[in-house]
Amino acid sequence: MTYDVEQIRRDFPILERKVRGRPLVYLDNAATTQKPRQVIDALVHYYEHYNANIHRGLHTLAEEATAAYEGARVKAGRFINAAAPEQEIIFTRNTTESLNLVANAWGRKFLEPGDEILFTAMEHHSNLVPWQMIALETGAKVRYIEIDDDGRLIGDDVRAKINERTKVVAITQMSNVLGTINPVREIAELAHRAGAIVVVDGAQSVPHMPVDVRELGCDFLAFSSHKMLGPTGVGVLYGTREALDAMDPFLGGGEMIKRVTYERSTYADLPNKFEAGTPNIADVIAFGAAIDYLEALGMEAVREHEIAITQYAIDRLSAMDGVKVYGPREAADKGGAVTFNYRDIHPHDLSQVLDQYAVAIRAGHHCAQPLMRRLDAVATARASFYLYNRHDEVDALIEGIRASDRIFGNVVRAGA
């Protein structure tokens, strides 16, 4: 598939929508992405043609559903270059559940009092709160790696805090606020030399850039379908076979067992051990269609497109008086999220004004309250881009910001 933004946009029905008479400008992709017709059709096709439960049935519909579901598992593993997708890819509800699975199933079994869990100052709550909870339960301690004023990890702090007490390094590959791309491979090497496991939050990175888990050297990687053109309600946990085999199940019930008596149970092999009960069959299958779409485009091409439009947004925002942009200023060093504040206008107010211009952004603490305090910001506005966004949509964002200045300037003058 040739990378043609106009052709790509025609695959997304929602992008034809108008909001308050204006064409929709969707810049909230870090929260969730829109879905192409191919994904929507795959979801409908399942329900219309082979809706059935998987694995246990012997009839035609069950066998077709099982094949499509397991096919999506193989696609997900191939997308991140897992060595053995049939065992190393676990389907969950979302990135949050994947990270909770690791924190509970690995942390509860292996962490002891005095052990240290190390995360970064830019973590999403999903890769922070579960570890805090497990630390309270096990007696482990939590520590974090500092960032500099450009939103990058401080290398000396990384090297100082990874030591013989470190058992877990939990790190985002790409910050959902700053867009910073962290050096996971180098950190993983340090962590493994210290005897620690590496848990990567890939919710923002996997949809936006080529990701190779074997090259990264991580023990676990979590990401979500809905941030990469797929449906909501599907998460992926990659884990090495060694790490997954060493863990106990996270949930008990059907499908995750080998043999059950009234007294005890034995557990199924991977990946079933971690997939109790009937899964989200339809959405997993549609997720497979989303992976097909991304692979046809090529993740290198997706990344190149996002670098171009992100740099354009950074440059235009930085040229405005009163705008403070957070994180790296070079788009090649970050993902497609551009976080900023404008004058003394609260981000929530700015977001509402932008909505009047049909521009959808995100405003708030972005599930990263500790980072907000590090940035000395109550909240921020975030415009985030994806493979279907155009440069003229950045122009619409700038137009809306200028309109907010006029609106709130008039309010202040009227109040005075």
| Measured distance CA(205)–CA(208) in Å, rounded | 5
Q: Where are the domains of the chain?
A: 5-29+299-415, 39-295
Asked whether 102 and 237 are in contact (CB, 8 A), the reply is yes
Q: What is the pTM of this model?
A: 0.96
| Measured distance CA(253)–CA(257) in Å, rounded | 7
Query: Out of 154-163, 247-256, 309-318, which region has the weakest mean confidence (pLDDT)?
Result: 247-256
C-alpha distance across the termini of the chain, in Å: 58
Sign, Cα dihedral of 105, 106, 107, 109:
positive
**Predicted local distance difference test score (pLDDT) of residue 1:** 53
Tokens of 392: 């003229």
Query: pLDDT digits over 6-30, tens only?
Result: 999 999 999 999 999 999 999 999 9
Is 367 labeled as catalytic in the residue annotation? yes
Sign, Cα dihedral of 321, 347, 120, 246:
negative
pLDDT at 377 over 60: yes
Query: pLDDT digits over 59-74, tens only?
Result: 999 999 999 999 999 9
| Measured distance CA(337)–CA(75) in Å, rounded | 26
pLDDT at 411 over 70: no
For the chain, give the mean pLDDT: 96
Tokens of 351: 């977001």
Mean pLDDT for 96-113 is 98
Tokens of 247: 């863990």
pLDDT at 415 over 80: no
Catalytic residue among 142, 367, 377, 398: 367
Write down the residue that tokens 């910050």 correspond to.
Answer: 175
Q: Before 249, cis peptide (omega within 30)?
A: no
| Radius of gyration of the chain from its Cα atoms, rounded to whole angstroms | 22
**Predicted local distance difference test score (pLDDT) of residue 405:** 85
**Predicted local distance difference test score (pLDDT) of residue 414:** 43
pLDDT at 412 over 60: no
| Measured distance CA(56)–CA(70) in Å, rounded | 13
Tokens of 135: 């630390």
Mean pLDDT for 135-146 is 98
Tokens of 412: 């202040």
| Measured distance CA(57)–CA(293) in Å, rounded | 30
Mean pLDDT for 344-373 is 97
Hey, which CATH number is domain 5-29+299-415, 3.30.1360.170, 3.90.1150.10, 2.60.120.10, 3.10.450.50? Answer: 3.90.1150.10
Query: pLDDT digits over 263-306, tens only?
Result: 999 998 999 999 999 999 999 999 999 999 999 999 999 999 99
Mean pLDDT for 374-394 is 98
| Measured distance CA(178)–CA(39) in Å, rounded | 29
| Measured distance CA(186)–CA(343) in Å, rounded | 38
Backbone angles phi, psi at 126, to 5 degrees: -65, -25
pLDDT at 382 over 60: yes
**Predicted local distance difference test score (pLDDT) of residue 118:** 98
| Measured distance CA(413)–CA(238) in Å, rounded | 55
**Predicted local distance difference test score (pLDDT) of residue 318:** 97
Write down the residue that tokens 């309109």 correspond to.
Answer: 403
Hey, which CATH number is domain 39-295, 1.10.240.10, 3.30.230.10, 3.40.250.10, 3.40.640.10? Answer: 3.40.640.10
**Predicted local distance difference test score (pLDDT) of residue 409:** 73
Mean pLDDT for 387-391 is 98
